[in-house]
A and B are shown apart, each in its own frame.
Chain A
Amino acid sequence: MSTLSFLLQKEFKQIFRNRSILGMIIAMPIIQLLVMPLAADFEIKNINVSIVDHDHSTYSRELTNKIAASAYFKINDYSGSFDASYEEFQTDHSDLILEIPQNFEKLLVIENEASLFLAVNAINGTKATVGSAYLSRIISGFNGNIREEWIVPAKMHKAPTIDIASKNWFNPFLNYPFFMVPGILVALVTMVGVYMCSLNIVKEKEVGTIEQINVTPIKKHLFILGKLIPFWVIGLFVFTLGLLGVAQIAYGIVVEGNLILLYAFLSLFLIAVLGIGLLISTYSETQQQAMSLAFFLIMIFILMSGLFTPVDSMPQWAQWMAKLNPVTYFIEVMRMIVLKGSGFEDLKSHFLAMTGFALLFNSWAILNYRKTT
């Protein structure tokens, strides 16, 4: 066991002497958690609308004001010609064109029916769908108002409507960071674990010090433990800094569930992640190779994990890929424990899957790690 303590002392000395690693351990969770949730916010705001008003009536102006009053829209221009607005559309200055035809008000009053034309710039698919949905809602609201004040006399024949009352559970104010921050923290811990662990070992290969280690009677498993334990500790530290530091102070996220359970899952996840780092290092001779391989894998792990897009809306093959990805499970665990307060009973299958990954990656890496050529 004293061999292990010599190995650990050496690793920690080297890590604390390396300013860039130290900077990464401290600055990365803070900066990433402060910046990324803002960028990864899927709430669509500031949709630019061009309004082409051929009618210039009270109603057309009322509708325009209603749109302008909404927090989601910015009236980009208000003109009388579709061509002028189309110009704006083409240069990407506006996302939606709403054309109000001539006699809009007249038709509405006399014929009880009028139509509007909506053109959607669909380059950004999300913005297009969400934008046109918001706008349709505003228009139907406007429509309802008119019906009440103009068409329907009293309560005579009120159209039957179903009123929906909804309540948001677990994140009552639909606060976006509540959903994203725990997930981003997982991505962060994944990166720290995979990169640091693989690069550290491959660096020893590149510099040649590993050869010096390989001629000593050190047992393979002790050397590997000596490499994994320090990064396991660093992973715990980064996570704690992110969760109890940034997430709590900057976003007011308080863990709903059991903190010990959360850390138990984190420890397990870190073992799996470090196993991936170790595995990468056994397949790479240079830090450049390790970096490229780690980058490739992390990209897939994070994009396929349900961090940004729900796994349920992926095609079937992608759902299978997400199931083969340890990050998926820990992101779910995080969201469930942090936001919902789930207990171990709810997370049994996650526990089994993550244990499986930890065993798989580490035994694969250990089998592939060679002291001799």
Chain B
Amino acid sequence: MSREVVIKTDRLTKKFGDFVATNEITFEVYKGEIFGFLGANGAGKTTAIKILCGLATPSYGNATIAGFDVYTQTEGIKKNIGYMSQKFSLYEDLTVLENIHFFGGIYGLRKKVLKEKSEKLIETLGLQKEANKLVGALPLGWKQKLAFSVAILHEPKIVFLDEPTGGVDPVTRRQFWDLIYDASDRGITVFVTTHYMDEAEYCDRITMMVDGLIKALDTPLKLKERYGSASMDEVFYELARGAKRSAD
């Protein structure tokens, strides 16, 4: 299998004083893949994602994202990725359309393209009536779908999703994953952290992080076989049982 590698890390480590948030993690992510990043709270998922997005500098180890070096070419990384954080981070005091225009605009989308894209986006999400409403007034599920759509508006090579479906109902979560599949079909690599094990099943490959270390990396099917479990839940318990950290 000679697929294009879009994320490559080598012993990537981030320390905060004595605390090792991510401990020498090494993995590769292929183009168009949905790559699940699993782990208990405090396992180091968010730190890893922040390093990969250029929001944090690693203590040591190497990583290239879309061919750009994580130490020296963070601006190159930023042009080629989308990011959706744990915290909802569109502007609640701007309308749906204004948010789309703003984020599209700062990624340098042309006016005409921006207009077409925002129309299409609003149609896909069924937000025609809400287009001129403040984002703060939308229900959480809609906000999350909008945030995801805005994150991939500029057609990045990779989109990083940090627990995108926290606090969202099952139906909306399903719809959210439809959006993820859509993006993946268009060739966007999706890097997603979650601790919903049903969502883990939707990923092409997953890694399990425990205490800052990668404990397993494979397809959901193979992992279940390896641990002789019927569901990802059991795999997770099996791996996370030994975890020493619990707080986030």
Contact = CB atoms under 8 A, between A and B. Distances in A.
B90 A212 contact: yes
24 contacts: A2-B105, A6-B102, A10-B98, A13-B94, A14-B91, A14-B93, A14-B94, A17-B93, A207-B87, A207-B89, A208-B88, A211-B55, A211-B83, A211-B85, A211-B87, A211-B89, A212-B90, A214-B55, A215-B53, A215-B78, A216-B103, A217-B78, A372-B57, A372-B74
B107 interface: yes
A109 to B, nearest CB: 83
A215 B83 contact: yes
A103 B24 CA distance: 101
B108 interface: yes
Interface in A1-33: 2-3, 6-7, 9-10, 13-14, 17-18
**How many A residues are at the interface, by size bracket?**
20 to 34
B56 interface: yes
Interface string A191-217: 000000000000000011101111111
Contacts of B56: 372-373
A214 B87 CA distance: 14
Contacts of B82: 215
Contacts of A218: 106
Contact of A3 (B50, B90, B108): B108
The 9 closest A-B pairs by CB, nearest first: A208-B87, A6-B105, A212-B89, A215-B83, A217-B78, A208-B89, A217-B79, A209-B89, A373-B56
B36 interface: no
Nearest to A226: B106
A215 B55 contact: yes
B23 to A, nearest CB: 18
A206 B53 CA distance: 20
Interface string B63-96: 0000000000011001101110101111111100
A14 B78 CA distance: 25
Q: Is the interface of A mostly helix, strand, loop or mixed?
A: helix
Given A2-B108, A10-B98, 6 more contacts: A7-B106, A13-B93, A17-B93, A212-B89, A217-B107, A218-B106
B220 interface: no
A216 B107 contact: yes
Nearest to B56: A373
B234 to A, nearest CB: 34
B83 A212 contact: yes
B78 to A, nearest CB: 4
A209 B83 CA distance: 12
Nearest to A215: B83
A208 B74 CA distance: 20
B106 A6 contact: yes
B98 A13 contact: yes
A255 B146 CA distance: 53
A163 B141 CA distance: 86
Nearest to A2: B105
A14 B136 CA distance: 13
Given A215-B83, A217-B79, A372-B57, A10 B89 contact: no
Nearest to B53: A215
A14 B83 CA distance: 23
Interface in A210-236: 211-218
B54 interface: yes
Contacts of B79: 217
Given A208-B87, A212-B83, A215-B78, A373 B55 contact: yes
A214 B83 CA distance: 10
Contacts of A9: 102
B157 to A, nearest CB: 13
A10 B102 contact: yes
A117 to B, nearest CB: 69
A31 B160 CA distance: 50
A216 B78 contact: yes
A21 to B, nearest CB: 11
Contacts of B93: 13-14, 17-18
A216 B54 CA distance: 10
Nearest to B84: A212
Contact of B91 (A10, A211, A214, A372): A10
Contacts of A207: 87, 89, 92
B54 A372 contact: yes
Name the residue in A212, A218, A371 with the highest tally of chain B Cβ atoms < 10 Å from its Cβ.
A212
Given A372-B54, A372-B55, A215 B81 contact: yes
Contacts of A371: 54-55, 74
B91 A209 contact: yes
